[in-house]
Amino acid sequence: MLDPALTAQLRAIVGDAHFRDDKEALITHSYDGTPMLQALPDGVVYPESTEQVSAIMKALSFYKIPLVSRGSGSNLCGGTVPVQGGVVMVMHRMNRLLELDLENLTATVQPGMITADFIHHIESLGLFYPPDPSSMRISTIGGNIAECSGGLRGLKYGTTKDYVIGLEAVLASGEIIRTGGKLMKDVAGYDLTKLLVGSEGTLAIITEATLKLIPPPKSKMTMLAMFRDLYGAARTVSAIIESKIIPATLEFMDNPTIRVVDDFAKLGLPLDMEAILLIEQDGDPETVTRDIEQIRQICTREQADTIQVAATREEAERLLTARRSAFTALARLRPTTILEDATVPRSKIADMVRRINEISIKYNVTIATFGHAGDGNLHPTATTDARDTEEIHRVEQAFEEIFAAALELGGTITGEHGVGMVKAPFLEWKIGASGMELMKGIKKVFDPDNLLNPGKVFAKETRRRVVIDHG
Amino acid sequence: MDKQTNISKKPQINHANPLARTLLEKLDYDQLTNCMRCGFCLPACPTFRETGVEPESPRGRIALMKAVADGLMEPDDMFRDQMNHCLGCRACEPVCPADVKYGQLIEQARDAIEDHSVHSPPVRGIRKLFFKGVFPHRNRLKSLGRTLNFYQTSGLRRVARGTGIMRLFPKPLRDMERILPDATAQGVIEQLGTVHPAKGAPIARVALFRGCIMDVMFAGTNVNTVKLLSEAGFEVVIPPEQTCCGALHAHSGELELARNLARINVKVFKELNVDYIVSNAGGCGALLVEYDHLLHGDEDWNEQAAWFASRVVDISRLLVEHGRIPAFAESAATTAEPVIVTYQDSCHLRNVMRSGSAPRQLINQVANVTFQEMKEADRCCGSAGIYNVTQPEMAGQILEHKMDNVNVTGARYILTSNPGCLLQMKLGVEQHGRGEPIEVKHVVDFLYERLSKQDA
Ligand SMILES: Cc1cc2nc3c(=O)[nH]c(=O)nc-3n(C[C@H](O)[C@H](O)[C@H](O)COP(=O)(O)OP(=O)(O)OC[C@H]3O[C@@H](n4cnc5c(N)ncnc54)[C@H](O)[C@@H]3O)c2cc1C
Ligand code: SF4
Ligand code: SF4
């Protein structure tokens, strides 16, 4: 329960209709896309301007009430679950494109804009904004920035952090800050823009973002290569990059995923393949043709079983369907789908997939793996049932071991989904005790009273490292 | 691979609140669990689009249902209102990666709510009158048609409108009264008999599901449906014992009544042993194809209901997939004037019967017709059964946006595949038309009309 004086103040700031503390509002802001997490906030507020955000923050910091900023709640790390109660701030009303600067090729947007709406608009003007998380039809630019989301185009074009060049943000105190600007070069002090990107709503509330746009590629080609040998597929990935080709997309599906996808989408995929690579190259037509030809030769050298290059856009779409249906197909298998996000150096992909498969057998849980081979970002995905507590326990153990394996192979515990609550107990494994201290120090400077998204990123306790059983 | 639902554990909670108890009992807890809260359904949902708030979204409504079942909240008035705010358009189903059967959940929720609702006496009276007293009874429907027809043609309507007596009725009802087509007591059987032969070698024997309101308010469309089927090579039988499909009942939380009607229909059609059961109203068809779900758990009816459901098909789809497309497709000979035509999807035809492309394919084949797809044709028009009467505000808002999209197509005709949508679009033209004449027609009527012009 919030202090009535505070609720009155919040109502006065945003108007009666835009502050709610009825049960309906609380329940529907108690979850996000992460399975099995839920906690009720005490209120929900929908600001429409930076000034309102600032005023809200001033009021909340006076009462020391926590705040969780929320886009569409599509994150998969518990990032918007209000574990310590407080107020959820929904950014949806702040959804305007504020400025399009065609001279500097930048766009300035409010955080609540839906990513796909932004991308479509930009593309209709003949420009290109590459970050394309699979959730872009629902996720917001603000959520993308806070999680530093990446997508299928990440390998060649980078992720959200490579396109955010300026931010306006509100601190826990209610102060408004501006970082960066329409500048491609800016070394005035620490890079606060980059620090806020990926800060998961724990350092400041982003209220405006200036994004870099680039010219779109002129053409695109798509191919699918299937391998009986996992290491053949993995070597192909390394060989492509070694030969100095950076494909626009380089996606991977393992055998369990292939089976599920084929069963769902009836694409006639061969079920005895160990791996499928989906490869796209874009750019000038001559370069694209040359690259694709070279990639085809590499695939052949690494004994790809079949190689298909799409002749038309429709055919390409058909090939893309396989990868796109992976999530949908897996989601239909069992009630609870846990999509994780372990990342390894790309030379270690085959080893990682092997390890995941062994771990899944060891704990007797179903885990299929697909993901972005080009950048080593794998999505081991468990299909299970939240009501089966015994099985869920085994799934948790399996994932703990998967994270440990990723780190052992020189990887990380999350490549794009963020730490949130889910990965918080493992963060120290990755960055070490002194890394933790440094990060906590930064948090303290921005948010001394720990009001912004508390309980995220930093866990009360670090999980003890499991002993990896190589048997 | 089938979804394994080996654990169908419902929480063991003894809710103090009676409605919460019923909800826990009636809601399919597996479906509630299947929702993984990914949010993919949000952009598809018209009520979310209009309001932008989570409770008005499929994910939000499912979370509310689950919260009540789990004892996290009491089913208060706001909860009931939220369940009623859903259009039931089911646009959230095709986009859901986890294949959550949202339509079933919302019907179960409304069914539970209905069990505990104390309607004011007039509302209770009207509900009882229509759900039990009128829709299921052919004769009463006929006499209602006769009365309505008398009202419409005798000059009484002019008097009523002139004296302003209509102003005593709530606005949504007044709106509806204005756009209702002329009713008739002469249904399709009275006009054509119970069997209609195929033209040329018969492709299959089909039974027409004539509907209840459909046969009173749109008897002409039923007649044209039969004639069109015959032109396309189908022999048509129309069993007179058939009754209302039960869709309005099911959507309004009267599931038991809907089941009773379903049993009658299943029995009547099963005896005919036809190849297809043809529907020309998306709203009815969508319930008919789900009779197996509706009667799920009823041992005596399982098999027959599955037989029934597997044979139900929308007229457009049957024509496209199995029919001999009649002569309206030949461009050279037609005498019809060239027109621009647009199409408003029936949500249930598209999202439940998954037959949204068939009407478009047919329209595209008609000579001298330019088909102009409207933006967001797949989005609900706000009619949604009796939603436009029960939730006039939201329905009005949705309709206004819809008409913005219609108006830029420059269409002379808006075609639809469902009577509710048809009336709603008529209302739309009346309230937000651009002044140029736009006619709203059932696809079947448009096709048949063009066919006749071709013959001339
Ligand atoms: C099916 C599915 C597929 C996905 N695919 C991808 C993918 O390919 N790549 C990828 O990277 N992610 C993916 N995600 C994860 C998720 O969509 C992204 O993390 C996305 O960026 C979240 O956006 P959102 O608007 O939903 O943010 P939310 O989930 O609402 O919030 C995410 C975080 O951002 C913070 N936040 C939100 N708005 C602000 C703001 N204005 N200021 C400060 N902090 C803010 C929140 O506090 C929270 O910590 C996927 C998720 C799903 C369900
Ligand atoms: S798309 Fe399906 S699984 Fe996702 S939130 Fe909506 S109903 Fe739930
Ligand atoms: S049925 Fe229609 S209105 Fe109801 S939740 Fe689904 S999409 Fe929204």
* A450-462 residue pLDDT tens: 999 999 999 888 7
Which residues make Cβ contacts (< 8 Å) with residue B395, sequence separation at least 6? B172, B382, B383, B384, B387, B388, B424
pLDDT tens for each residue of A345-365: 988 888 999 999 999 999 999
B43 near A CB under 8 A = yes
Nearest CA-CA partner of B219 in B359, B453, B419 = B419
Q: Are B117 and B92 in contact (CB under 8 A)?
A: no
Residue A460 pLDDT = 83
The residue that leads in pLDDT, B150 or B434, is B434
pLDDT tens for each residue of B201-212: 999 999 999 988
Residue B329 pLDDT = 62
Is ipTM strictly over 0.90? yes
- Quote the tokens at residue A143: 């959520």
Q: Are B203 and B233 in contact (CB under 8 A)?
A: yes
Does A138 sit within 8 Å of B43, measured CB to CB? Answer: yes
Q: How far is CA A374 from CA A234, A245, A257, A295, B240, in A?
A: 10, 11, 18, 13, 65
Residue tagged 């679009």 (tokens): B425
Does A35 sit within 8 Å of B36, measured CB to CB? Answer: yes
The residue that leads in pLDDT, B9 or B188, is B188
- Least confident residue range of A185-194, A303-312, B319-328, B373-382: B319-328
Q: Residue B334's pLDDT band (boundaries 50, 70, 90)?
A: low
Which residue among B6, B37, B99 sits closest to A31, beta carbon to beta carbon?
A: B37
Q: At what angle do helices B419-432 and B392-407 cross, to 10 degrees?
A: 70
| Span from the CA of A143 to the centroid of ligand 1 (angstroms) | 4
Check residue B371 and give left, alpha or beta (phi > 0: left; psi -120 to 50: alpha).
beta
Residues in chain A closer than 8 A to B37 (CB atoms) = 31-35, 73
pLDDT at B161 over 50: yes
Does B98 sit within 8 Å of A331, measured CB to CB? Answer: yes
| Min distance A78 CA to chain B CA atoms (Å) | 12
Q: Closest chain A residue to B81 measured between Cα atoms?
A: A24
| Span from the CA of A340 to the centroid of ligand 1 (angstroms) | 14
Task: Find the residues whose C-beta lies inside 6 A of ligand 2.
Answer: B 35-41, 58-59, 62, 92, 96, 98, 100, 102
Q: Which of B62, B89, B108, B110 to mutate to test the pocket of ligand 3 (most atoms within 8 A of CB)?
A: B89
Does A135 sit within 8 Å of B39, measured CB to CB? Answer: yes
| Span from the CA of A218 to the centroid of ligand 3 (angstroms) | 39
Which residue among A24, A33, A46 sits closest to B39, beta carbon to beta carbon?
A: A33
The residue that leads in pLDDT, B308 or B177, is B308
Residue A418 pLDDT = 92
Coil, helix or strand at residue A212: strand
Coil, helix or strand at residue A85: coil
The residues in A 200-259 lying below 8 A from B, measured between CB atoms, are none
Residue B333 pLDDT = 54
pLDDT at B149 over 80: no
- What is the average pLDDT across A365-377? 90
A321 near B CB under 8 A = no
Percentage of residues in chain B with pLDDT exceeding 90? Answer: 47
Residue B298 pLDDT = 84
pLDDT tens for each residue of A301-342: 999 999 999 998 888 888 888 888 888 888 988 999 999 999
Q: What is the DSSP letter of B230?
A: H
Residues in chain A closer than 8 A to B3 (CB atoms) = 332-335
- Quote the tokens at residue B378: 């797949």
For ligand 3, say whether the CB of B394 is within 6 Å of any of its atoms.
no
Q: What is the DSSP letter of B12?
A: -
For ligand 1, say whether the CB of A283 is within 6 Å of any of its atoms.
no
Does B37 sit within 8 Å of A27, measured CB to CB? Answer: no
Residues in chain B closer than 8 A to A333 (CB atoms) = 1, 3-4
pLDDT at A138 over 90: yes
Give the span between the Cα atoms of B311 and B266, in whole angstroms.
Answer: 11
Give the span between the Cα atoms of A403 and A399, in whole angstroms.
Answer: 6
Residue A208 pLDDT = 98
pLDDT at B120 over 70: no
Does A92 sit within 8 Å of B97, measured CB to CB? Answer: no
Residue A326 pLDDT = 87
What phi and psi, each to the nearest 5 degrees, are found at residue A224?
Answer: -130, 130
pLDDT tens for each residue of B211-235: 888 888 888 899 999 999 998 999 9
| Span from the CA of B387 to the centroid of ligand 3 (angstroms) | 12
- Number of CB pairs, chain A paired with chain B, less than 8 A apart: 103
Taking the model in full, what pTM does it have? 0.87
pLDDT tens for each residue of A194-238: 999 999 999 999 999 999 999 999 999 999 999 999 889 988 998
B36 near A CB under 8 A = yes
Alpha helix stretches (DSSP H) within A339-426: 349-362, 389-408
Q: How many CB atoms lie within 10 A of CB B168?
A: 8
- What is the average pLDDT across B240-256? 87
The residues in B 92-111 lying below 8 A from A, measured between CB atoms, are 97-99
| Span from the CA of B29 to the centroid of ligand 2 (angstroms) | 15
Residue B173 pLDDT = 66
B37: exposed, middle or buried (Cβ count in 10 Å: 0-12, 13-18, 19+): buried
| Span from the CA of B33 to the centroid of ligand 3 (angstroms) | 18
Measured from the Cα of A169, ligand 1's closest atom is 42
Q: How many CB atoms lie within 10 A of CB A464?
A: 9
Residue A21 pLDDT = 96
Percentage of residues in chain B with pLDDT exceeding 70? Answer: 85
Mean residue pLDDT of chain A comes to: 93
Does A387 sit within 8 Å of B54, measured CB to CB? Answer: no
Residue B181 pLDDT = 74
Does B33 sit within 8 Å of A336, measured CB to CB? Answer: yes
- What is the average pLDDT across A418-446? 94
